[in-house]
Structure 1
């Protein structure tokens, strides 16, 4: 695994959280996007962020992981610009999708919150444990072939 992380310390709560770049890096977002799609069997995903430059980078990497998740051909929507959690959840509901909301605090702590298709935050019992295990054992899902790759689109939240 390139750039390993302490999965027990970082992947906890409802997703992942750690100080950038010491505890967490943008590759973790790619891993989470891919693993969320595969563990949930998702065909749709939405990712939004708070507008911080680090959050923006993580959101882009999450989206690339989601569209490259094995054979799921996940249609992934990236919300362009800053959005709050409620805005992400509204789009997620409209698209019947899994989701991720990414924030970065003043001390560079990145938090990636993951949601299931019902809009509930992931928990240990609803899949976070499986995602952690995939990442810890370096079994992050990769695309089977180019035809299995999903679709990426960008959505201006202000248009809603």
Structure 2
């Protein structure tokens, strides 16, 4: 792992959170998204952020990780700056697919970043619904490798999704 983190500290409470840049970095977003797609075995995912510049940087990396997760060819439906209520509504309307929300707030020593992972039922991921698996994959440096170009997913803004 090029830039290690403390997975037990960062990956908890329904996702990943930590002080940027001390505890968490944008590479973590790539790892989290790729592992989340593989853990949930999904080919569709909905993502949103809170509009803060740091959140947008992490959001971009989340999208890249999700579309490059092994052979899943995951389509990431992006909402951009959207509240969790809208994220949950779109997840449900898309067929009860998993979702990701990213937020950040200024803190005394940097920026506190929170990546919340939602299961297909709109509940934050728990230890038994995938969080422990994601933490183990990252701790053991078993982050899913990028796919070949024919299995790569795509990012689509909400409202431009193709019919399944």
TM, length-normalised to structure 1: 0.93
Pick which of 27-36 and 137-146 moved more. 137-146
Count of residues in Structure 1 that have an aligned counterpart in Structure 2 = 155
2:7 counterpart residue number: 7
Alpha-carbon contact 1:63-1:77 (below 8 Å) kept: no
Structure 2 spans left out of the alignment, 5+ residues: 160-164
Structure 1 spans left out of the alignment, 5+ residues: none
2:86 counterpart residue number: 87
Q: In angstroms, what is the RMSD of aligned CA positions?
A: 1.1
**Structure 1 residue matching 2:61: 3-state secondary structure:** helix
1:61 maps to 2:61: yes
2:119 counterpart residue number: 116
Following superposition of structure 1 onto structure 2, how do residues 7-156 of structure 1 map, counting pairs within 5 Å?
Answer: 7-80=7-80, 82-96=81-95, 97-107=97-107, 108-155=111-158
Q: CA deviation at 1:29?
A: 0.7
TM, length-normalised to structure 2: 0.91
